[in-house]
Chains A and B, each alone.
Chain A
Amino acid sequence: MTDAHVLARMEQRLAQRHAAERRFHLLGLGAVVLSLSFLVLLLVIMLKNGLGGLDWQFLTASDSTDPASAGIWGAFKGSLWTMLVTLALSFPLGVLAAVYLEEFAPRNRWVDIVEVSINNLAAVPSIIFGLLGLAVFINTLHMPRSSPLVGGLTLALMTMPVIVIASRNAIKAVPPSIRDAALAIGASPVQTVFHHVVPLALPGIMTGTIIGMARALGETAPLLMIGMRAFIATPPDGVTAPASVLPMQIFLWSDEIDAGFVQNTSAAIIVLLVFLLAMNGLAIYLRNKFEVNW
């Protein structure tokens, strides 16, 4: 074989390899574009169907059998009460548990069990929390069915692990020198943690809390289990009144046969997505604004 021949074959092979490289690159780009186009498709369809239905009347009326006079105010108020209960429970419990596990817990078998169960709870399907809520809060403790109280309690159990995990990471990121300095000038361990470590970790804790609350706000399955799927024509005014929530209203309307409800469903989805985007945006803003690189 001549040298020129070998050289030609080498060049041919190199060209093949470069072509494969380009194909692979395009494949990756294609995957990203395809994934994002699903998102765009979803948003475009919802906007196309729902934007016409978004008016003042839709935002201030409650559920009705007539699609033209139905609105989301009742469901929105239900969501508000439910989120209030969820936040009031999961935030303090989550932060305190994180403080304990990260700062004070001894290394032993019990603490290992707590850690394992928190990590697993974060991955348990949400519908299982609904079964827990049904069996414990409604059938055992006889709390009022389809109320924001039970819904909020159920969602709080679901949100708490998310807050614990985020708070632990935020607390872990506070450098030990802060603790050493506080301890060195005579602060007790509890004072050190609550006067210095927790305030410094607060942006991270808030970010995690907002993300957890956003997830709870969009959750439907566990609330189906505890009966929050009733037709509610009057907005609830308390945590024990029967209520619906925004995602549940979307689910209920999606089942309606009347074509007018397609517009209502899409409009409610737009409202829900706006809220979720705002919450996630706030979380990202907080993280960027207050995050300290030690």
Chain B
Amino acid sequence: MIQLAILSALVALVLVGWFTARGKARLFARDGVTTWSRPEYHAAHLVLWILVPALVGWLAWSALVPSLVDAALAAWPVAQNLPASEFERASVLAEARALAANPDAGSFYPLAAELVAPIQQLNARYGLVGAVIVAILAFSGGAWGFSRLRADFPARTWVERAVMLLLLLASLVAILTTFGIIASLVYETGLFFGQVSPIDFLTGTHWSPGAAVGDDIGDSFGAVPLFWGTIYIGAVIAMIVAIPLGLMSAIYLTQYASARARRWIKPMLEILAGVPTVVYGYFAALTIAPFIRDLAASLGRDNPSTESALAAGLVMGVMIIPFVSSMADDSIAAVPSAMRDGSLAMGATQSETIKRVLIPAALPGIVAGVMLAVSRAIGETMIVVMAAGAAANLSADPLDSMTTVTFQIVQLLTGDQEFDSPKTLSAFALGLILFTVTLVLNIVALRVVRRFREAYD
């Protein structure tokens, strides 16, 4: 592999550069010349000059090679047989490229197999050109760096500048990720809204993307049942479980439990938050859902479904308990102890103090915690995929099967269909709505928490 050869040559060059530069810089000290920087900084400076231009050049070249290969391939006689349609042409080329990289890969188009040899030949040729470019860059960079190695050269300043640049780039990754999420979601959603009107999508009550064929596909993309299912499972059922249990656990742990008990119970509660969601999903599907189905049957429901909103919501609530509990814990701890002591000194019992003083004082923090918990619950995927069902029902009965936004995103994108159909694009529209809602919930919650903290500082 030519890549491996380039890499090992670069590593060797870097090692040689490091030791020569350090050796030369050490000679200054032996000769009694005062140096600006320690020998290691001179060495690092040279290594940077070898490595950075070479790697940048390599990366740029690798990005260029596929289009160069395609262009050169067009001149080949075999390429004249390529189908004229853009889409077919692209898939034949993609397949040939996969075959060239891995001969074991299966092929569908017979033409792809014929294209393998030319592609491999071209890849090898351009790979060699790339190696030469990398070598030129590494050597000329190294030569320039070495020519600057003098006793009075401020190598440390330059190395530290490079370090600062690296730090800055690392922190920009976060912005890039946020930007990437927004850009990709907005772009695909734009494509989707080109085919289905946003009004149909946001207000329609009929969801069956599988049936979306013909001109009038807007009728099949009414997402209201999904929004309803998401809110009902994540913000209603799950919260009915999580808020009382989480809040009371936090109160017990902060106000009643001994320090010893607290030290044991708190990590155990946190295990609940650390259990992977796929495990909760399996737990819901294996244990809770059949139990609820039997319960529904004994209550006189005929033919109850195994997949119920209640099963998914209950388990999701359990998952959220530690989250609510730790947020409530923090908010209660943030209430100044003078308020608590004052209430107790007036003769209120502990429970009266908690109910009348601590909780009202901590309420903004608790509400913010609940908002964060809701945002986590509506974004939760595996539990609903495994326990909630696919039927888009607009119903208030917790024993009905309901579907959620996350479930539908998974449903729409796992399967082999082409990428530009409205069906797959609608998943991105759902994703954009999910992202926006969780973002707003988070921003508002964090702002409430901050203001609440300031009030008691």
Q: Known contacts being A31-B252, A127-B406, A262-B286, is A251 close to B268, with CB within 8 Å?
A: no
Bin chain A's interface residue count: 35 or more
How many pairs, one residue from A and one from B, have CB atoms within 8 Å of each other in the complex?
Answer: 252
B contact face: mostly helix, strand, loop, or mixed = helix
CB-defined contacts of B256 to chain A, threshold 8 Å:
25, 28-29
Cβ contact within 8 Å between B406 and A93: no
From B11-19, B161-169, B293-301, the one touching the partner chain is: B161-169
Cβ contact within 8 Å between B351 and A135: no
Cβ contact within 8 Å between B156 and A251: no
CB-defined contacts of B244 to chain A, threshold 8 Å:
31
Q: Does A235 contact B (CB under 8 A)?
A: no
Q: Known contacts being A32-B252, A123-B442, A124-B435, is A250 close to B282, with CB within 8 Å?
A: yes
CB-defined contacts of A75 to chain B, threshold 8 Å:
none
Cβ contact within 8 Å between A100 and B245: no
Cβ contact within 8 Å between B277 and A221: yes
Cβ contact within 8 Å between B375 and A128: no
Q: Does A136 contact B (CB under 8 A)?
A: yes
* Complex: chain B residue closest to A220, CB-CB: B278
8 A Cβ contacts from A164-188 to B: 164, 188
Partner of B386, one of A46, A96, A118, A254: A254
Q: How far is the CA of A93 from the CA of B177 in the complex (A)?
A: 13
Cβ contact within 8 Å between B269 and A97: no
Cβ contact within 8 Å between B278 and A251: yes
Instruction: Tell me the smallest distance from the CB of A192 to a CB of chain B, in Å.
Output: 11
User: What per-residue 1/0 map shows which CB atoms of A19-53 lie under 8 Å from chain B?
Assistant: 01101110111111011101101100110010000
Q: Does B281 contact A (CB under 8 A)?
A: yes
- Residue of A46, A123, A142 contacting most chain B CB atoms (<10 Å): A123
CB-defined contacts of A272 to chain B, threshold 8 Å:
276, 279
8 A Cβ contacts from B341-383 to A: 349-352, 354-355, 372, 375-376, 378-382
CB-defined contacts of B281 to chain A, threshold 8 Å:
251, 254
8 A Cβ contacts from A82-126 to B: 92-94, 96-97, 99-101, 104-105, 113-114, 117-121, 123-126
8 A Cβ contacts from A123-147 to B: 123-129, 131-132, 134-136, 139, 142
CB-defined contacts of B352 to chain A, threshold 8 Å:
17, 20-21
Q: How far is the CA of A221 from the CA of B404 in the complex (A)?
A: 14
Partner of A35, one of B267, B272, B285, B381: B272
Cβ contact within 8 Å between B382 and A251: yes
Q: Known contacts being A128-B435, A250-B278, is A100 close to B170, with CB within 8 Å?
A: yes
Q: Does A225 contact B (CB under 8 A)?
A: yes
Q: Does B52 contact A (CB under 8 A)?
A: no
Cβ contact within 8 Å between B268 and A117: no
Cβ contact within 8 Å between A220 and B282: no
Partner of B414, one of A125, A128, A224, A277: A224
CB-defined contacts of A119 to chain B, threshold 8 Å:
442, 446
Measured CB to CB, the residues of A under 8 A from B are: 17-18, 20-21, 23-25, 27-32, 34-36, 38-39, 41-42, 45-46, 49, 92-94, 96-97, 99-101, 104-105, 113-114, 117-121, 123-129, 131-132, 134-136, 139, 142, 157, 160-161, 164, 188, 190, 194, 214-215, 217-221, 224-225, 227, 229, 247-248, 250-251, 254, 262, 265-266, 269, 272-273, 276-277, 280, 284
21 contacts between A and B (CB under 8 A): A20-B349, A21-B351, A25-B256, A45-B283, A96-B170, A97-B170, A100-B171, A121-B177, A124-B438, A125-B379, A127-B409, A128-B181, A128-B431, A134-B413, A190-B163, A219-B276, A220-B278, A220-B381, A247-B278, A254-B285, A269-B282
